[in-house]
Amino acid sequence: PHTTRQQNTLINISKMMKTIFALLALFASASAFVPSTSAPVVKTALSAVQQPDAVKTISTVAAGFMPAILSSSAAMATEGTNEWFGVDDLRLLAVLFAGHYFILSLWLGQYGNATEDDDADFFGEIDYTGR
């Protein structure tokens, strides 16, 4: 029913529509990288409330600690001994934890007051004075 000229026209229109659609899709994806021009707004009710730093710290620690304890069987793995971490002598478990806490205290004593600003000059010269 269609002549060759009509078929060519339909093919050209189809190609043009595909090209226009691809171009519009490209523009739409590029707009995702444009900075927002709206004013900063509070996204949630929780972020609108000012909390003391201690509450933020406790909630951050709890957010990391609770899922590991409550949902992870590896945190309380018994490894066939029916005891946490596979240790059947509580004295050995105490020594393991004390050793880790001792090493942690040494590290915090040396680097406990380090902030992210101290890392800003990583590629500078090395300060051998210890200050």
Q: Model confidence over 29-57: pLDDT tens digits? A: 877 777 767 666 656 666 656 667 777 77
DSSP structure string for 110-126: HHTT--GGGGTTTTS--
pLDDT at 59 over 80: no
The predicted pLDDT at position 58 comes to 77
The predicted pLDDT at position 102 comes to 95
Which amino acid is located at 36 in the chain? S
pTM above 0.95, yes or no: no
CB 14 within 8 A of CB 21: no
pLDDT at 103 over 90: yes
The predicted pLDDT at position 74 comes to 60
Q: How much of the chain is helix, strand and coil, in % rounded to 5?
A: 65, 0, 35
